[in-house]
A and B are shown apart, each in its own frame.
Chain A
Amino acid sequence: MTLEVKNLNYFYGRHQVLKDVNLTATEGQCVCLLGANGAGKTTLFRCVLGLLTGYRGDILLDGDNCRELSVRELARRIAYVPQAHSPAFNYSVFDTVLMGTSVLTDVLRTPGEAEGDVAWKMLETLQIADLANRGFAELSGGERQLVLIARALAQQSRVIVMDEPTANLDYGNQLMVMGQAKHLAERGYLVVLSTHSPELALLFADQVIVLDKGIINVSGDPKTVLTPAVIDQTYGVTVELHQVTTSWGDVPMVVPNASRHAG
């Protein structure tokens, strides 16, 4: 599965949010989208997911124009992992994951045995089968994020879009969720996610795309693209990049100049 975005432009009223955005991503990649608040990351995702349709330009999945795909056809190709939230009603973890299987069956059917098997397999894949009977509302943020990833996997689409999957998670859960995203990419999914952490992008991304006021500033291999200059342009933060030698190998590290912001 290949995702191509060609000359994408989007306006909210007169305000241009995305300008001539072009990108290509293929399965097996973990693509990280970086950018300051309001840079257009969410708008780009909403266009790709078919939630916004008034865009100019084209979004292609394996050459098929997303505009011509029905809601169900699009959901069979792209799954969405929202930020972990508190829904109005409390469903069990199993039922929440089961919701993802709706695209596999007829419109009016409720899920049956086969869909239950799919949901169960996804819970086992993410090693959260022991949560199956718990209520979604009773889970921690990290557990909720994993359940929402399992729900996306249950759609059995090859592209997974995650909107800031590490937002509101503690340090350990951030690394855990990013590790899962990377693992899915290694298993052949195309994972596209947004993050506010250049450090996580350096650690986990195969491709980074840096958005600045609706324009793609740079894109490509994180190690060559994420320079101190780019990070300064994007976030207004002075950083130095260092290779740190650890017992698990050389690791890139972003060191911000905190004193510049302290005083």
Chain B
Amino acid sequence: MKPDARPAVPRRRTWLVAFALVFVAVAIGSFALGDYPISLSQLFHAFASKVTGASADNTVQLVVFSIRLPRILAGALVGAGLSVAGAAFQGLFRNPMASPDILGASAGAGFGAALMIFLGMGFAMVSVSAFIGGVIAVGAAYLVSVRARRSPILGMVLAGIMIGSLFNAATSYIKLVADPNNVLPSITFWLMGNLSNVKPTQLAWAAVPVLAGMVVLFASRWKLNLLTMGDEEAQTMGVNIKVIRVLVVAAATLITSACVSISGLIGWVGLVIPHFARMIVGDDNRYMMPVSMLMGASFMVLVDDLARCLTTAEIPIGILTAFVGAPFFLYLILRRGGRL
């Protein structure tokens, strides 16, 4: 047997490069789309003038850098973030049905946001409160699970579901008592998720926890492979499972809470994008994680293009992700005969 029979690492790297190119193409295309059409040459000149300092069309500059760039970056950040958090939780819980909101992060963030909208606060406060709500929910679930020594994973998931349902009930109560003429619609609209309110400063603030979490998850991606074999096996292979569990939960929670704080609740992506990635590059987190990030970023930017271009009024992106993605996923299940 010659060493050339070894697994096809180059092929998996090719997929990585391919999805990076797809993302770049989607991002460039998204600059062109919108109420104010921008050609590729206008786009090129706008970026060139930023670099060289040459004078340029002010309207184009405004649309490209103040309106579309933040939105594309936000879509990419949220899509990549939710996907990588979902991929990490699926590995940690050894369950391909896990999603980023499994420990209550989204429920906590939804409550934090609804409370601030109810109190009449601006978007910045709503974001901060959503972020804190998400972190508190998962923190509480984690603290409960520490007491469940016999089966910490099951304890954590059950605690997360309970705490999530508490926060959801609290959100429902706020919706019940909110003014149905103006406050309730804005809460509902926020909970459905959209990227139309994202401002560059909020984006910059949200990017810090998201990128920090991504660095941690990326560094742990090989250890996550070992962890999917089971806690005991991972430990006998030298993995300090308690440390890695805390790191992964903390990183995924920071990412999810920060994403939800600027985008509102966007389900589906964190559960299903990692599955698409698994279908293409397999379960190995070394490749599945980066491919998930690129696919999630491309998908979210693409769906956001639809959200802002499909109709004159903005469609909440949280609705569109499922409308666009679920039929495609069903098609894959049918075509592949359940070989997921």
Interface residues of A (CB under 8 A from B): 46, 49-51, 70-72, 74-76, 78-80, 82, 85, 87-92, 94-95, 99-100, 102-103, 107-111, 116, 120, 124, 129-130, 132-133, 151, 155
Contact = CB atoms under 8 A, between A and B. Distances in A.
Given A90-B282, A91-B284, A102-B222, A80 B233 contact: yes
Residue among A90, A94, A100, A110 with most chain B CB within 10 A:
A110
Given A102-B238, A110-B222, A130 B1 contact: yes
Given A92-B282, A99-B225, A79 B236 contact: yes
Given A75-B237, A89-B96, A91-B284, A51 B228 contact: no
A235 to B, nearest CB: 27
Contact of B237 (A70, A102, A107, A116): A102
Given A100-B237, A110-B222, A155-B237, A94 B7 contact: yes
15 contacts: A50-B235, A51-B232, A75-B235, A75-B237, A82-B232, A85-B230, A88-B94, A88-B228, A94-B7, A102-B238, A103-B238, A109-B222, A110-B221, A110-B222, A155-B238
For the complex of A and B, the 9 pairs showing the least CB-CB separation, nearest first, are A75-B238, A80-B236, A89-B283, A103-B238, A129-B1, A88-B94, A110-B222, A72-B238, A94-B7
Contact of A99 (B3, B8, B229, B278): B229
A3 to B, nearest CB: 15
B211 to A, nearest CB: 17
Nearest to A151: B237
B154 interface: no
B219 interface: yes
B229 A87 contact: yes
A50 B300 CA distance: 45
B3 A102 contact: no
Interface in B195-239: 219-223, 225-226, 228-230, 232-233, 235-239
Nearest to A103: B238
B6 A71 contact: no
Given A72-B238, A75-B237, A80-B236, A133 B225 contact: no
B94 A102 contact: no
B188 interface: no
A38 B259 CA distance: 50
B175 interface: no
A102 B226 CA distance: 9
Nearest to A155: B237
A51 B284 contact: no
A99 B7 contact: no
Contacts of A50: 235-236
Contacts of A130: 1, 5
Contact of B8 (A100, A110, A133): A133
A112 to B, nearest CB: 11
A129 B226 contact: no
B236 A102 contact: no
Contacts of A46: 232
A71 B238 contact: yes
A134 to B, nearest CB: 10
A97 B238 CA distance: 14
A88 B225 CA distance: 11
Contacts of A132: 5-7
Given A50-B236, A91-B225, 13 more contacts: A49-B235, A71-B239, A71-B240, A75-B237, A87-B229, A89-B283, A94-B6, A95-B284, A99-B237, A102-B222, A132-B6, A133-B8, A155-B238
